[in-house]
């Protein structure tokens, strides 16, 4: 009985210590947005931190404590970024590495279009929510794309029926799914659109392509085939 109580008390103490570490780290994160004039005119840190989301520059997203902890205190640790590993010099892989941390911190949101052949040789294509897929892999592993093998050059990036949109051209089957970041909206006039759940922006794929949108990048990868990367800079809600 006493051993059980000691273990329980030790567990509570460990959780309290972890919570304290997370609180301190989040306060340091908020301080990165604070300017010198803020400290001159505002009474204390609590007030300053409450105002940070309201005073952040347009286009800057300030993470909530929950979002911050998901990024920096995940079970796999703070350094679980593929961009910190040595990866093959593939055009698509390098483009995704450049966007990994920006997606994790909710600065941008990236959709990846891939047109390739699956392991059986059938033509497939689809749209992938990069942040959603990476996060699922980091927390659920096999339930998402095998990103560790993809970035290591051992596997190709192949869309599937769990992604935002997927089509198997051999049988004509089409699948679509909302992700944590996007709602899929087929439009008879605008074509396939994705509504960003965070800021309400509507991303028209047809418009990105036909107007040579600066945030639309066409990439031909020897390994992954024909791909397009769509970047959306998340707007801060006023």
pLDDT, tens digit, for every residue of 90-119? 899 999 988 988 888 888 999 999 998 887
- Between 80 and 133, residue with greater pLDDT: 133
Does one domain contain both 200 and 140? yes
Segments forming the whole domain that contains residue 10:
2-55
Asked if residue 193 belongs to a domain, the reply is yes
**For the segment 2-42, what is each residue's pLDDT rounded down to a tens digit?**
555 554 555 566 567 767 777 887 887 787 777 777 777 77
Crossing angle for the helix pair 2-31 and 45-55, nearest 10 degrees? 60
Asked if residue 63 belongs to a domain, the reply is no
Question: With 60 as the cut, is the pLDDT of residue 1 above it?
Answer: no
Q: What is the pLDDT of residue 19?
A: 75
Asked if residue 153 belongs to a domain, the reply is yes
Asked if residue 75 belongs to a domain, the reply is no
Q: What is the pLDDT of residue 238?
A: 39
Q: Yes or no: say if 128 and 114 are a contact pair by the CB < 8 Å rule.
A: yes
Does one domain contain both 144 and 200? yes
DSSP string, 87-104: ----HHHHHHHHHHHHHH
Number of domains into which the chain is organized: 2
Does one domain contain both 51 and 87? no
């Amino acid at each position: 009985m006493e051993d059980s109580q000691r273990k329980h008390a030790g567990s509570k103490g460990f959780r309290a210590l972890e919570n304290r570490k997370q609180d301190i780290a989040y306060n340091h994160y908020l301080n990165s947005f604070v300017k010198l004039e803020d400290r001159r005119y505002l009474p204390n840190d609590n007030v300053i931190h409450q105002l940070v989301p309201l005073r952040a520059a347009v286009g800057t997203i300030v993470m909530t404590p929950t979002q911050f902890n998901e990024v920096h205190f995940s079970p796999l640790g703070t350094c679980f970024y593929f961009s910190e590993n040595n990866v093959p010099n593939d055009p698509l892989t390098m483009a995704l590495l450049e966007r990994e941390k920006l997606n994790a911190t909710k600065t941008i949101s990236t959709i990846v279009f891939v047109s390739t052949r699956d392991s059986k040789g059938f033509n497939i294509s689809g749209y992938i929510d990069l942040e959603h897929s990476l996060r699922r892999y980091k927390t659920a592993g096999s339930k998402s794309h095998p990103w560790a093998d993809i970035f290591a050059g051992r596997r190709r990036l192949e869309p599937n029926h769990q992604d935002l949109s997927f089509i198997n051209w051999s049988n004509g089957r089409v699948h679509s799914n909302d992700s944590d970041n996007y709602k899929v909206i087929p439009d008879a006039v605008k074509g396939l659109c994705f509504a960003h759940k965070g800021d309400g922006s509507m991303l028209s794929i047809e418009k990105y392509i036909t107007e040579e949108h600066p945030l639309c990048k066409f990439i031909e990868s020897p390994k992954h085939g024909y791909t397009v990367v769509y970047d959306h800079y998340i707007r801060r809600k006023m």
